[in-house]
Amino acid sequence: MSFKEQLFQGQHILVTGATQGIGAGIANYLHSLGATVTAAGLGSTENVLHPDIQVKLVNVSDEASVHALFDNDEPLHHVVNCAGIIKRQAEHQLDVFEQVLDVNLTGTMRISSDARAKLRDTKGSIVNMASMLSFFGGGLVPAYAASKGGVAQLTKSLAIAYAADGIRVNAVAPGWIATPLTQDLQNDPVRSSAILGRTPLNRWGTPEDVAKAVAFLCSDAAAFMTGVILPVDGGYLVA
């Protein structure tokens, strides 16, 4: 274990986009550290999430759906915004461009805004999901890159806006992570070799690598950190 057992005992953590990939990995990892975890998202969670994790069907691009998520008396200590989509090549179409921004960027704002009152009560924190494309452009994914650049700036802005409430707002920026969404790249020797050749630690990351960084940012070890965009990329950004 990288952290003490039951680090988040007695704390309730909401993870959006937690029905697969990185989001599911984060939800499971925080649960293993004693948190009561609510996984919000769309799609099946069969054989993905620990059975003790509460699952709620939530569409972050729908305001009513987001409002309903917080319409309860449950305390909330941390929010991890992982909900996101990518539409390679199709993002040059304006309707697709708008859809990606609505989920990835505006969805992050919807969740954060609605969670604010609960997090004020617990002096909690928000961890957003940035990306390497918060720093680089992406010719095939202009909407995804724009949304993730926006998430980075939103993180810094909310860190300032929410500080008076005692709420910290940070983000992680994953590099190349081995998930079903990147399986085709992992299976392609040429493209995988290029990715690993640019990554100083010379391996694909795992959802748990990202989850550990999220756990750190949620913990008291990061009590004086806010507005941070933390790369979890094996050195890809600096290579």
Separation of alpha carbons 90 and 73, rounded Å: 41
Are 132 and 85 in contact, with CB atoms under 8 Å apart? no
Catalytic residue among 29, 144, 162, 236: 144
Contacts of 33 (CB under 8 A, 6+ apart): 3, 5, 6, 7, 8, 215
Separation of alpha carbons 209 and 233, rounded Å: 9
How would you label 74-109 residue by residue, b for 16+ Cβ within 10 Å and e otherwise? eebbbbbbbbbbbbeeebeeeebbebbbbbbbbbbb
Contacts of 44 (CB under 8 A, 6+ apart): 19
In the annotation, is 144 catalytic?
Answer: yes
Separation of alpha carbons 200 and 177, rounded Å: 14
Separation of alpha carbons 204 and 179, rounded Å: 10
3-state secondary structure 43-74: CCCCCCCCCCCEEEECCCCCHHHHHHHCCCCC
Element spanning 120, H or E = helix 107-122
Catalytically active residues are 144
